[in-house]
Structure 1
Amino acid sequence: MMSDCPVVSTKLGKVSGFALAKAKCPEAQQVYGYLAIPFAKPPVGNLRFKPPQSADAWKGTRDGTKYPPGPMQSTRYVEIFAKYVANYRVADENPRYFDEDCLYLNLFTPKTSNKAKLPVLIWFYGGGFSAGSSVGYHGQTICGLQDVVLVVPQYRLNAFGFISFGKNSSCPGNMGLLDQKMAMEWTRDNILAFGGDPNNVTLFGRGSGGISVSSHVLSPMSRGLFHRAISCSGVANCNLVTKENNDVSTGFLLKELGIMDRDPEIILAKLRSLSAKALMEAQEISAEYHENPLQKLDDFVTVVDGKFLSKHPRDLITDGNFAPVPFIIGCNNTEFCGVLADRFPKGFVTGEIGEKQAMDLTKIAWQVADNIPSNKLDEGVGLVKKEMMRYISPDDRYKWSKLPTNVMLDTLILLPGVEQAIAHSDAGNPTYMYYMTQQLRMHHNRAFSKDMTKKPEFCEADHIDDEVFTFGVPFGNGPVAKEMKFTEDEKNLSKQWMSFICNFAKTGNPNTPMSLTNWTSFKRDDQRHLVVKMPLEEGVDLMGERFEFWQNLRAKMATT
């Protein structure tokens, strides 16, 4: 297979690749894959917890046919999501193979001529900055049908990527975001040889990957390295995933390790002396010290480090301090209802939880979303219930399951997304929003998959579901871990969604003359957005009165 794939010369050395099987679509073209290309030195030994360093050159031709190990992480997070993940394998991969030496990127392209100058998309995976890797993401369909280049870099996670000891320390945090930035610099310097245009780069990502994209839009350190941005199911101005510091998580980890020193340099020296396995095992335990279940999942996250992020993203957005690039922001309408179903109380899936359980879950979601002090939760949660139940029928058997998950969607994803979209649009930048509601039948009907874990009946478009459409999984060609079948509507939506994404990457406007529906740009006054389902629809007033409700309640909780 290697003989069918051109060897490409990067600025650090030559790399071989492989020819992927063509996507199951008549118009699909040949795509070539180049795996495990180093873009930074291994962040091990004395380089642990430090910003990434440029990779060394190599002699001969590097083998680019095998996936790299994923970043250090707990396998328990893999197990949470693995039951619902849908993809095709294009090379040998092991989603449970992790190593501290992880700073590699995978690249997929339909052309390797330096004259092709195709649009480039850089994908940042999600996982709450605690999990995730490049495994499962490839360009078989999106590159084969849309004539784009796909780059999937890996970045450090959890304490390895986000432990912090203050703005003035040698470890202010956000190493994972700096890994992404170095991958963007590598792309700028090398992508021409893979058929890509270094002057037409789009960042896109889901969950913490979308938050990462939003962070790069806000950071002056990333300016000029990309030209368009797409944040799916997450932006940076969310308190759960962007904090002033990681002091609480760092303290829990040091307590678990029995490190009592106060000098950051002494602490760092002791942490660097540990094996990666020992450090990861301690994190698995210390994450459980958090009282709030959501913080157990999102333990170490992005921080205001004074460099990459000079202020909290909310303040940067208010100041208008962001890159003036075209921006797509969006989410799914029942985020977390499926993938986190096992984390909710018994009865959540069947609609048999009671009001008290629903209110307790609502407090958990709202507290971390807006940093609500514990002594104010009871005062405010009654107002939350009154407002949110206006949109749920009293006869709905799933009403108490929907209440906390709707609050999670609003406060963790939708409200921050609309806030950033308004600021971005008000500044005169092309801005688009979407709201996906398409339900994947394989998650609900055994006729479409006997293997896939089924989701609650009321779950429509769940967290991660959009990736199936983004990467053209309905047209995948290769071995699968689970049986998957797709409806004609799902196939058509995937084609149209890839067209929107890639035309946006090409021009800054998602529409083409062939678009089934015109995607109108987002403005503050009417909040027009694309409702992503078949048939496609245009929506208005995305959050309705809930937008002002949440903003007013946040202000009330901050002053009373």
Structure 2
Amino acid sequence: MRRGRFRRVLAGLAVFAATVTFATGAQAEPAGDRDAVVRTDSGPVRGTVHADHRSFRGIPFAAPPVGELRWQPPRPPSPWTEPRDATKPGDRCAQNAGPLSQASTSEDCLYLNVTTPRRGPAPPRPVMVWVHGGGFVSGAGSDLTPTRLAVDGDVVVVTVNYRLGVFGFLGHPGLGAESGTFGLADQQAALRWVRHNARAFGGDPHNVTLFGESAGGMSTCAQLTSPAAAGLFQRAIIQSGACTINWPASGFLPDVPAGTMWAPKAAVDAEGARLAEGRGCADPATALACLRRVPVRDLLADPRAASISAPAFGTRLLPEQPAEALAAGHFPRIPVALGTTRNEHRLFAAVYPNHPITEADYQRWLRDGFGDRANEVAARYPTGAHRTPGNAWADMATDRVWACTTLTGARLLDARTRVFQYEFADPRPPVIFPFPPDIDPGAYHASELVFLFEPGGFPVQLTPEQQRLSQRMIGYWSRFAATGNPNAHGSPKWRAFPSVQSLAPDDIRPVDFGAEHKCDFWAGLPQR
């Protein structure tokens, strides 16, 4: 149950990526405009034409995974002949409501959205495929609108849905090599759709960048290490989701055991078998057929299903734990950009239900994670230096869980390919989550997203300095997608790893990332 609570809380913390639909602010031209219809390999779609871009929403990239197709690899969609309406997004994949996420009971959800500049004629543009966050249990590809990224970056942006929670990551002995990886398989199906259809939208199918934040970043890293994804993308951007992220006991959330976002197939299968038994589907010969008859609402409400969301390794799609695959060099030699926010864990501290966090809480959580070494950690992160015990715990977790593990991942990648690492460090980004008084937001988890995606239609106001930072970041991200190198004339130079680029308003420069986050200290401190 503790792991289930961890997953539910993590799902609520995708913040922008799981909750906010941004409007473009542009006026659509008449639907009859010839630019509004594009022919895909399954049939024509009619989107919306704006002055500077076109958008196509709710395009099916796979058959609805319903009935007998529940917990099956994605199948091609049924073709159509008349132009299909692509002016609104498809359903969100089935998920529970959270503090910041919308509920859905739809399994017919394997849809994607395409945003493309209207300028032309032009050579085929780079394609950027966005994977949303949400702890693998919430969110949708339509939750962010990438108009500025597409138009200002001159790229085609595709945002995708994928099956979540028990529907995307159920394991069971009867599922064989596909067990626990259906959501990742959906992402690969979307990438195959891009390969087949990018050119119809003005995109280059041979210049695809996969990128995502939080669970979307972890998905990107997983796909980087998946043999089944080889050749489907040529660059990767991993935002706050390195393969190497892990945490000690009470290091991610209080009373949550040590762990990672990945789980071995045997453990995932056993968890699914327990769910089946609890649903009266214990007979191995009929268990999956029995589970496929359980209504969506009942599975979403079942506490035994709440903790099912960890992608499984030791499977066809993920033969190895992704961090181990990186260490072994089992990934393609493509350029990778990755990074974190300066104060990642402030958001996770903010959703802790009992505030203010006390000194006794803080010291207990340190003992949970570090035992007789807890005093050493407390000495490095004294409450007096962080204003409150909650800030001290969050800053400790930022360094231990996010920053230093990401630095480890960057080193593993850099041993075999070109890497660019960043830290988003705006000390006062827009805040839409109500932080309690004892937690200072800082550059919290996901706070960089409004600098890349369209903030119109939501009460987020960027200062002139933040607007300049947004323009720089869109330039870096889109140039990396185009060339594998984020640099261009007129922008502060972003040197390749081991340099780490700090991104803050009117302050873009290299930073001593390891020293800033005490990574030498953490390297010498084993977790319990």
TM-score (normalizing by structure 2): 0.85
1:25 corresponding residue in structure 2: none
CA contact (8 A) 1:174 1:305 kept: no
Match in the other structure for 2:95:
73
Q: Structure 1 188/112 Cα, relative in aligned 2: closer, same or farther at 3 Å?
A: farther
**Structure 2 CA distance for aligned equivalents of residues 247 and 389 of structure 1:** 42
Query: Aligned letter for 1:6?
Result: A
1:112 to 1:247, Cα distance in 2 relative to 1, 3 A: farther
Contact between 2:383 and 2:392, CA under 8 Å: does it hold in 1? no
Counterpart CA distance in 1 for 2:84 and 2:55 is: 13
In the other structure, the counterpart of 1:301 is: 310
1:532 aligns with 2:513: no
Residue aligning to 2:452: 470
CA distance in 1, matches of 2:383, 2:450: 31
288, 293, 301: which is aligned to 1:268? 288
Of stretches 64-73 and 539-548 in structure 1, the one that deviates more from structure 2 is 539-548
Q: Superposed, which structure 2 residues align to 1:426-441 within 5 Å?
A: 426-427=415-416, 429-440=417-428
Work out whether 1:513 is the aligned partner of 2:502.
no
Equivalent residue runs for 1:110-509 within 5 Å:
110-111=117-118, 116-166=123-173, 169=176, 171-238=178-245, 239-245=259-265, 246-247=268-269, 249-250=271-272, 253-254=275-276, 256-261=278-283, 263=284, 265-282=285-302, 285-286=303-304, 299-338=308-347, 341-348=350-357, 353-354=358-359, 356-362=360-366, 377=368, 380-387=370-377, 389-392=379-382, 394-398=384-388, 400-427=389-416, 429-440=417-428, 442-443=430-431, 453-454=434-435, 458-473=440-455, 476=456, 479-480=457-458, 483-509=459-485
Distance in 2 (alpha carbons) for counterparts of 1:177 and 1:395: 42
For residue 57 of structure 1, what is the amino acid of its counterpart?
Answer: P
- Local SS of the residue matching 1:461: coil
- After superposition, give the CA deviation of every residue in 1:259-295 in whole Å (9 maximum; x if it has no partner): 444x2x522111101111211111xx2367xxxxxxx
Q: Is the 8 A contact 1:112 1:194 kept in 2?
A: no
Q: Does 1:547 align with 2:523?
A: no
Shift of residue 386, structure 1, vs aligned partner = 1.6
> Equivalent residue for 1:447?
none
Q: 1:129, 1:38 → 2: CA distance?
A: 20
Q: Which moved more, 1:310-319 or 1:501-510?
A: 310-319
- Structure 2 Cα separation of the partners of residues 499 and 212 of structure 1: 23
Distance in 1 between residues matched to 2:378 and 2:493, nearest whole Å: 31
List gaps (5 residues or longer) in structure 1: 23-29, 83-94, 289-295, 364-376, 444-450
CA distances 1:366-406 after superposition (whole Å, capped 9, x unpaired)? xxxxxxxxxxx47x3442452364255635431x2133323
The answer (yes or no) to whether the contact 1:40–1:103 under 8 Å persists in 2 is yes
Contact 1:123 1:150 in 2 (8 A): yes
Q: Distance in 2 between matches of 1:242 and 1:107?
A: 30
Deviation of residue 225 (structure 1)?
Answer: 0.7
Tell me which moved more, 247-256 or 191-200. Answer: 247-256
User: What are structure 2's unaligned runs of at least 5 residues?
Assistant: 1-29, 246-258
Cα deviation code 1:509-543 (max 9, x no counterpart): 1111110x2111112xxxx2111112233334422
Relative distance call for 1:251 and 1:402 in structure 2 (3 A) is: farther
In structure 2, relative to structure 1, the CA distance for the partners of 1:382 and 1:199 (3 Å cut) is same
The yes-or-no answer on 1:50 pairing with 2:72 is: yes
- Residue 454 (structure 1) shift: 4.7
Is the Cα contact below 8 Å between 2:177 and 2:316 reproduced in 1? Answer: no
Deviation at 1:547, TM superposition (A): 2.9
1:8 counterpart = 2:38? yes
Residue 26 of structure 1 corresponds to which residue in structure 2? none
Give the whole-Å Cα distance in 2 for the aligned partners of 1:58 and 1:513.
46
Query: Structure 1 residues 173, 197: closer, same or farther in 2, change over 3 A?
Result: same
Q: Does the Cα contact within 8 Å between 1:385 and 1:403 map onto a contact in 2?
A: no
Query: Which deviates more, 50-59 or 408-417?
Result: 408-417
Aligned to 1:88: none
**1:181 and 1:222 in contact (8 A); partners too:** yes
Aligned partner of 1:359: which letter?
A: Q
Deviates more, 1:169-178 or 1:120-129: 169-178
Residue type at the aligned position of 1:401: G
1:61-100 maps to which residues of 2 (within 5 A)? 61-76=83-98, 80-81=99-100, 95-100=102-107
1:441–1:216: structure 2 CA closer, same or farther, 3 Å change rule?
A: closer
Per-residue CA deviations over 1:281-314 (Å, capped at 9, x if unaligned) read: 11xx2367xxxxxxx6xx4211113311111122
**SS state of the match for residue 442, structure 2?**
coil
Distance in 1 (alpha carbons) for counterparts of 2:429 and 2:176: 50
1:440 and 1:144 mapped to 2: Cα distance? 26
Which whole-Å deviations, capped at 9, do the CAs of 1:184-224 have from their partners, x for residues lacking one?
00000001010000111101100000001111111111111
Q: Aligned equivalents of 1:465 and 1:494: distance in 2?
A: 12
Q: Is the 8 A contact 1:113 1:194 kept in 2?
A: no
Number of equivalent positions:
481
| CA–CA separation in structure 2 for the residues paired with 1:232 and 1:170 | 29
Match of 1:367 in 2: none
Specify the SS of the correspondent of 2:162: coil
Q: Report the alpha carbon displacement of residue 252 of structure 1 after superposing the two structures with TM.
A: 5.5
CA distance in 2, matches of 1:536, 1:3: 46
Secondary structure at 2:106 match in 1: coil
Aligned counterparts of 1:537 and 1:16: Cα–Cα separation in 2: 41
Contact 1:109–1:139 (Cα < 8 Å) also in 2:
no
Query: Counterparts of 1:7 and 1:34 in 2: how far apart (Å)?
Result: 9
1:211·1:234 contact (CA, 8 Å) conserved in 2? yes
**Residue identity opposite 2:31 in structure 1:** M
- Secondary structure of 2:392's partner? helix
For residue 59 of structure 2, the aligned residue among 37, 42, 61 is 37
CA contact (8 A) 2:93 2:109 kept: yes
CA contact (8 A) 1:215 1:235 kept: no
State the AA in 1 paired with 2:420: Y
Paired with 1:268 and 1:171, the residues of 2 have a C-alpha distance of 13
- Deviation for aligned residue 1:335: 1.6
For 2:489 and 2:373, locate their aligned partners in 1 and report how far apart those are by CA, in whole Å. Answer: 46
- 2:46 maps to a residue whose letter is S
